[in-house]
Structure 1
Amino acid sequence: MTPWPYPRWIAHRGAGKLAPENTLAAFRLGAAHGYRMFECDVKLSADSVPFLMHDATLQRTTNGTGTGGDKSWGDLSQLDAGSWHSRAFAGEPLASLENAARFCLHNGHLLNIEIKPTPGVERRTGEVVAQHAQRLWAGATVPPLLTSFQPAALAGARDTAPGLPRGLLLDTLRADWLDAALQLGCVAIVCNHALWNAATVAQAQAAGLRTLSYTVNDEWAAERLVALGTDGIITDRVDLFAPAG
């Protein structure tokens, strides 16, 4: 296998559920708990600015309404993305990928960018996110890891920035799971932690792929994955798991 520059422990959406997800406040809190790699979701604004958000719509995690991908970054940047979580984070803005990149690069942190397209713009999102990531991390020792559930998004990223590492996200192990990852030129499989067992880990490793899991919040699950020899654990419980462990 090629060398793996990423730590085992990755903070989900910045700091799990302890701060408003996918914001710089979450990144700062995750870092305060000792994490040095973060996972985040990235989609495109109407004017093609990559920004951090999980849902297609704005209502759950901001004071906005409608589809995020239909709004300009100028409008999105004015939204409150913290009050929904708690009063302590009121006024926290949405983060652009550029904001997140600068935070990580200046502080020596690493990033797993989940390409999370608004439905209908899967390939375009992969292309634009990869283009920005390649620019933002130019010259960096360790690039971001680009992942997605959407093969079209990963294909767009591959064709735009083939040098950036990619991982296929899976919530089920379909019949062609391994072939799909290899055809997309992936270096990793990132799947629901329950899908890993001795056989699936051995298959992935024999194909030269790294094995990562989401979202691992229980000690028994983490212990099982460590015993299986997997490479990465994405967790909400930044307050429970010591990332050096």
Structure 2
Amino acid sequence: MPRLICAGLVFAFCSGLLSGCAAPLSASADVSTSVLPQIIAHRGGTGDAPENTLEAIRLAVAHHADAMWLTVQLSKDGVPVLYRPADLSALTDAKGPVSARAAVELARVNAGWSFHQADAQGADAYPYRGRPVGIPTLREALRVIPASMPVILDMKALPAELQTRAVAQVLSEENAWSRVTLYSTEAEYQRSFAAYPQAKIFESRDATRTRLVRVLLQQGCVDAPAEHASAAFELHRTVTVVEKFTLGEGRSEVNATLWTPSTVACFRQRPDVHVVAIAVNNADDYRAAACLGIDAVLSDSPAKMTAIRVGISLPLRCGAEAESRVD
């Protein structure tokens, strides 16, 4: 008899392939909520302006985002700057890694080169090719963002130690530790920032994923997050299920839902655990996140999502009838 092993996100089977899995996003009972999730501007609002730029940050603030999520790498001269991909060619009019250029050079790169949106006729337009926006430093961004707005810094690039020290220096000099929480898909950053007692750090993605897997495969709520912890993971994610045979393997792509009543309940075992659902970009998912009691959602377009939030009448119904609503 073949043994089933899922590479990566094994809980894909709970997305309807096995009976007895966790409940769907909203319970069938006719319940309601009057609390809506905060909206975090993903990379400053990558759907509204070139990501991780001061332009995006200013627009996100104007669109009433509740918090800012920014991506950090180090320049050649050791300055924390805001940029996500491994190579400049992915988004800008330049080439090569961020670490190959000094911060002053990166400021002259057009970070809006690849940003496009539909024009009045519905065709793709590149509005920032004629008005360039540079790659900003973390320090510049912190000075533009209102002091009352929480900031999440997503650490990219390895090794972690050099970037950790550089970011810590900026946060200390800008008196910003209290409003910043640190995130990374690399556990090395959780270890390196642990040396700073004032640092607020999301738990590792591996820890969050493993707990979701165990709950969705009905293995119980093991090692619930400590009180005051923060955790983030996608609301939905396409995953690969791998079935191992004696002489080979089979693979299937599955669209999985990760945050459910059961998984959220596990993360809520201890007080003041902050849960963020990543990639929430439409009204149905936002309402589902609200009904689950999610604290905040990470969204590409603060302009779109805040409009959706304003349009929701409270209390929000979370039963089966509410699920069938379409905007």
TM bucket normalised to smaller:
0.7 to 0.9
1:31 paired residue among 61, 67, 75 = 61
Partner of 2:275: 211
- 2:144 equivalent to 1:103: yes
Residues 128/157 of structure 1: CA separation in 2 closer, same or farther (3 Å cut): farther
Given the alignment, which residue of 171, 177, 189 partners 2:231? 189
Report the residue type matching 1:189 in the other structure: A
1:173 is matched with which residue? 209
- Structure-2 separation of matches of 1:24 and 1:104: 9
* Alignment counterpart, residue 146 of structure 1, candidates 160, 177, 182: 182
Change in Cα spacing, 1:226 to 1:206, as seen in structure 2 (3 Å) is same
Q: Distance in 2 between matches of 1:78 and 1:186?
A: 40
> Does the residue aligned with 1:14 lie in a helix, a strand or coil?
coil
Give the conservation status (yes or no) of the 8 Å contact 2:82–2:137. yes
Question: Of 77, 93, 96, which residue of structure 1 is paired with 2:134?
Answer: 93
Q: Corresponding residue for 1:240?
A: 304
Within the alignment, does 1:202 sit opposite 2:265 as a pair? yes
Residue 12 (structure 1) shift:
0.9
How far the C-alpha of 1:78 sits from its partner, in A, is 1.9
Corresponding letter in the other structure for 1:94: I
Shift of 1:88: 4.0
Task: Name the one with the larger helix percent.
Answer: 1
Q: Does 1:72 align with 2:102?
A: yes
Greater shift, 35-44 or 123-132, is seen at: 123-132
Distance 1:153 1:64 in 2: 28
Q: Secondary structure at 1:146's aligned position in 2?
A: strand
2:168 corresponds in structure 1 to: 130
CA–CA distance in 1 between the matches of 2:43 and 2:173? 22
Structure-1-length-normalised TM-score: 0.83
CA distance in structure 2 between the partners assigned to 1:230 and 1:191 by the alignment: 11
Contact 1:22 1:40 in 2 (8 A): yes
SS of 1:233 mapped into structure 2: strand
Amino acid at match of 1:163: Q
For residues 156-208 of structure 1, the C-alpha deviation after alignment (integer angstroms, 9 at most, x for no partner) is 1221x3212111363872259975965xx972001111321122212212144
Contact 1:170 1:192 in 2 (8 A): no
Deviation of 1:155 (Å): 1.7
Matched letter for residue 41 of structure 1: T
Tell me the secondary structure at the aligned position of residue 221 of structure 1.
helix
1:50 and 1:225, CA in 2 relative to 1: closer, same or farther beyond 3 A? same
Amino acid at match of 1:164: A
Change (3 A) 1:45 1:212: same
Cα 1:130/1:202, change in 2 over 3 Å: farther
Aligned match of 1:4: none
CA-CA distance at 1:23 after TM superposition: 0.1
Q: Determine the C-alpha separation between the residues in 2 that align with 1:207 and 1:157.
A: 23
Q: What amino acid maps onto 2:203 in structure 1?
A: L
- What is the TM-score of this pair, normalised by structure 2? 0.64
Contact 1:125 1:153 in 2 (8 A): no
Which of the pair is proportionally richer in strand? Answer: 2
- Quick one: structure 1 residues 175 and 202, their matched pair in 2 at CA, closer, same or farther if it must change by over 3 Å? closer
Which secondary structure does the structure 2 equivalent of 1:93 belong to?
Answer: coil
Change (3 A) 1:18 1:207: same
Larger-Rg structure: 2
Q: CA deviation at 1:212?
A: 0.5
Distance 2:56 2:168 in 1: 23
**C-alpha contact (below 8 Å) 2:228/2:274 kept by paired residues:** no
RMSD of the alignment, in Å? Answer: 2.7
The offset of 1:21, in angstroms, is: 0.4
Segments of 4+ in structure 1 off by > 6 A?
Answer: none
Q: Which runs of 5+ in 1 are unaligned?
A: 1-6
Which residue pairs with 1:3 in the alignment? none
Q: What's the CA shift for 1:49? A: 0.5
**Structure 2 residue ranges without an equivalent (≥5):** 1-36, 116-125, 214-221, 237-257, 311-327
